[in-house]
Amino acid sequence: MNVITIPKPHKVASVLKKHIPFSEEEDDDDTSTVAIKTENGTQTKFGKGKGKCISNGIIQKYIKQIVPTQKPKKRKVKLMDWKKYHRLNVIYEFIDELERDYPAICTVSVIGKSVEGRDIKMLKISNSDASNSAVWLDASIHPREWITTAVVTYIADMIVKNFQNLSNSITNKDWHIVPVLNPDGYEYTHTHDRMWRKNRACYNGEFGVDLNRNFSYGWGNNGNEGSSEEPNNIFYRGPAPFSEPESTAVRDTILGSTTPFKVFLSFHSYFELIIFPWGFKKEPCKDYLRLLEAGTAMARAIQETSGMTYRVGSTKDLTYYACGTSIDWSYAIAKIPYSYMIELRGRKHRFKLPKDQITGNCVEIWNAINSLMNYIDNH
């Protein structure tokens, strides 16, 4: 007979309920039941998780041994579409299915584990031509920005299912797509706090590091303008560059690639911008004019598709100081010449873009990426 040894069940339950952010894998991925705690904007200074974080050692003090009495029921995964926002299990099943259905061009790999032990999955799309250059796309580094994951999965779907009919500027590249770079935070936005921005690491009793302040180039510059050393701050940069497994996964995957990366696109929301280095200083980067021109090509494609206007410029010019960002690192350290952060829709609705705008945002960005790839191949 299986035994569960817990000295004081009511005490264990109390401790866990107070401290541990459960992320339940529910069958229903409808987000209508999510409790909305806050309307924090991108510049909000403080964003705390529910309760204080505690170490695994404290949990083990109360729970000596837990043995499941039966196998968990197999859940039916819902089909992927772009009519609503989906949970992590649906997104991962979607890219796994692409690999199963299109094995000649699709490979799914786990590039790292999150703080809470979730897989960070990447879909690679490639015709295996040795002369290809590489493209990087990531989404949900800030997990409340759900539209980003919808957009990059749409792009993956378009490339894979239309590969034979796409232009050479698309098929002559190896596509590395990470639909959810911050899986712990992403699940937390579905189960606890819709406005959560950081990962779920614990420092000094506070939850979370802003992963887009945890990259090494420009990390910690300008003091608390552009990032923060305070763990309870929404822009907390972490105790050191690449202290987090999620940012480390990006670094190791890109620097470990034998195929040179030519494009790095990190998706965010909601400012409707196409921005490039620098974020940690005012001075323009050496390729400012080229990045401005290529970014303008993307913005023009968006405007021609939907009438939406995306502004183009450096991070500091269009927003505010941002130190330790992924695009400053990808441009300066990984030497990726076309490094952009694309801020998707929408200013009116902020992070909670209505579901009926998902497809429109996906289509305009798909056309923008086509325009960027054409620009790159022609210059």
Look at residue 54 in the predicted model and tell me its pLDDT: 60
Whether the pLDDT of residue 261 is over 60: the answer is yes
Look at residue 38 in the predicted model and tell me its pLDDT: 35
Half-sphere exposure of 132 (CA within 13 A, CB side): 21
pLDDT tens profile 323-359: 999 999 999 999 999 999 999 998 889 999 999 999 9
Look at residue 20 in the predicted model and tell me its pLDDT: 43
pLDDT tens profile 155-177: 999 999 999 999 999 999 999 99
Query: 172, 120, 46, 142: which is closest to 344 by C-alpha?
Result: 142
C-alpha distance from residue 52 to each of 19, 36, 147, 189, 205 (Å): 6, 19, 29, 17, 5
Look at residue 77 in the predicted model and tell me its pLDDT: 53
Give the other-Cβ count within 10 Å of 338's Cβ. Answer: 22
- The phi and psi torsions of 157 (rounded to 5 degrees) equal -60, -45
Residues 323, 227 contacting (CB under 8 angstroms): yes
Look at residue 46 in the predicted model and tell me its pLDDT: 38
Is the Cα torsion angle 266, 270, 276, 282 positive or negative in sign? negative
Q: Is 343 part of the annotated catalytic residue set?
A: yes
Whether the pLDDT of residue 223 is over 90: the answer is no
Query: 186, 123, 129, 133: which is closest to 158 by C-alpha?
Result: 123
Average pLDDT of 176-199? 98
pLDDT tens profile 109-126: 999 999 999 999 999 999
Kind plus residue range of the DSSP H or E element containing 314: strand 311-314
pLDDT tens profile 56-112: 444 344 434 444 445 545 545 568 999 999 999 999 999 999 999 999 999 999 999
Q: CB-based burial of residue 211 (10 Å sphere; 0-12 exposed, 13-18 middle, 19+ buried)?
A: buried
Share above pLDDT 70 across residues of the chain, in percent, rounded to a whole number: 80
Catalytic residue, candidates 145, 206, 244, 343: 343
Residues 363, 306 contacting (CB under 8 angstroms): yes
Domains defined for the chain, CATH in brackets = 1-24+50-69 (no CATH), 88-377 (3.40.630.10)
As a whole number, the mean pLDDT across the chain is 85
C-alpha distance from residue 150 to each of 103, 109, 236, 321 (Å): 23, 20, 26, 27
- Give the list of residues 6+ apart from residue 269 with CB closer than 8 angstroms, or none: 145, 147, 148, 343, 344, 345, 346, 351, 353
